[in-house]
Amino acid sequence: MAIEIEHKFTKRDVEILLDCCLNRTLGEIDRNHVFDKTIKSPKITGIAGDVIEQSVFGYKANSSKEPDLIVDGVKTELKTTGIRFSKKEKNKYEAKEPVSITAVSPNTIIDEEFNTSHFWQKLEHLLFVYYLYSSAKKTVPAAEYAAFLVKGYQFVEFSDDDKEILKQDWLIVRNFIQSLNKNPSFYPEISHLRSKLLFIDTAPKWPHPPRFRLKRSLVTSIVQSHFKESLEQLPQKYDTYSEIDSKCGEITRLYKGWTVSKLVKEFEINGKIDKGIGERLVVRMFGGSAKKMQKIDLFNKIGLIGKTIVLTEKGKRTEDMKLFRIDFDEIIPDNNNFSESEIYDFFIGNQVLCIMFEEHDKNDFGKNTFIGFKRLSFSDELIDFCVKPVWERIWHLVINKELKDIPILDKHGNVRINKTGVPQTAPNFPKSSESVVFVRGDSSDSTKKTEIVNGIRMYRQYIWIKGSYVSEMLKEKDFI
């Protein structure tokens, strides 16, 4: 039986309450002394939400599956979530983490329909309250949340197009659970569904009871829209990965075998022709005009990253794949939990659309020919056995002050020298000779080492995947 919600407000009431919180800290608005419980429980979670619920709206948290508030007669789910400044684009906000929605309850979901499901009841009408997670540390004690500012709030109702995507995602999970016939031995496979899901995922892994979550990439899109950072919309809508894959197949049938130079001319793209042209071509092929796939609203929401893949005529991968820059601020002594790291979040929450070309001239990218697309998701095996050990090694080196800057030697044992005359050195992070996932520095200027870790100057450090491993992953995937 549903619990009757007593927390009734008008929309104007809500606006007055939250307007009074803007640009004030959570500690300043905590009139009910919610932070007092952090004295005995310094690692308590959800303290920001507790402050908004108890000290702003005046009610205690509950475990009801019903939404939290009634606003102008409409059941509304309250979500207090952290935002932070983007590391890629200064002065832009991004979501700190995914947003948990509701439990994946096998015994309940099998008999539900989307429009009346607990999942949609929680999502149909949302009220987001944003606080700025301004600490340089990834994890801070609950008491330190008192210093974080409330930066905004937003009523969110998903568009019809986004609702359809959420519905298709939910159906994938529900239909999977229905197919198990209540056989729990197959529930661990639920984590493998993420390669099919656009807006949501499930976490944690079975046997821990999984919950539906909105992907961090989707929440970031919602945040940036609220703070007036708009992204380009594609002319056609896509509700599932199968529809995106179908479009990729259509593009391949039209343009397979075309040289890069011919494609650039066809889509009227100006500028230098190199491997960076791949993403611009994909955007144009989908009907957009942006230079990067992450500037497209849909691709940004679902965490679909574009990578140009160049194969030799014998099908060999020509180079390693750079993924993302390491955030060393998240590496702190009191948190070595891999599942809470940004590295884990990247591999769980993103997929790669590989834009495939065949190489015909190493010195002229324009002569390469387009051969199609493949879509890669990162397996649990890769994450558990390749990514996790690398993250643990990085954490150990930094926290235990064992990081060293090592000279790079040639085959004769002499220190290599850059073209600029600078001796080559590199920190002792995991190398490609040790793991298929590894760390490598990168910079547009070899004379400048702008990253400083443990007092050691280095190039910006990135997570990479070995080209040979990517090649093997691609061999197991059909063209889409």
Residues forming a β-bridge with 370: 357
Identify the burial level of 303 via C-beta atoms within 10 angstroms of its C-beta, where 0-12 means exposed, 13-18 middle and 19 or more buried: buried
Confirm if 92 and 85 have CB atoms less than 8 A apart.
yes
Under DSSP, the state recorded for 199 is: S
pLDDT number for residue 373: 97
pLDDT number for residue 3: 46
Q: How far apart are CA 355 and CA 368, in angstroms?
A: 12
CATH level 3 topology of 8-226: ECO RV Endonuclease; Chain A (3.40.600)
Residues forming a β-bridge with 379: none
pLDDT in tens, 44-58: 889 999 999 999 999
Q: Which is it for the CA torsion 67, 70, 72, 78, positive or negative?
A: negative
Q: Tell me the domain boundaries of the chain.
A: 8-226, 241-319+337-375
For every residue of 311-340, DSSP letters joined together read E-TTS-B-S-EEEEE--GGG-BTTB--GGG
For every residue of 341-361, DSSP letters joined together read SHHHHHHHH-EEEEEEEE-S-
Q: How far apart are CA 366 and CA 362, in angstroms?
A: 10
**CB neighbourhood size of 62 (10 A):** 12
Which residues are within 8 A (CB) of 183 and not within 5 positions of it... i.e. 6 or more apart?
A: none
pLDDT number for residue 204: 86
Per-10-residue mean pLDDT, the chain, length 480: 66 95 96 93 90 91 75 95 85 91 92 96 96 78 94 96 97 93 78 93 86 95 89 93 96 97 94 88 95 93 93 73 90 82 92 93 91 94 95 95 89 80 87 93 82 93 92 89
pLDDT number for residue 231: 86
Burial 322-344 (b: 16+ CB within 10 A, else e): ebbebeeebbbeebeebeebbbb
pLDDT number for residue 138: 62
pLDDT in tens, 234-247: 999 999 999 999 99
pLDDT number for residue 412: 79
Q: How far apart are CA 100 and CA 214, in angstroms?
A: 6
Confirm if 214 and 99 have CB atoms less than 8 A apart.
yes
Phi, psi of 42 (to 5 degrees): -65, -20
Residues forming a β-bridge with 423: 417
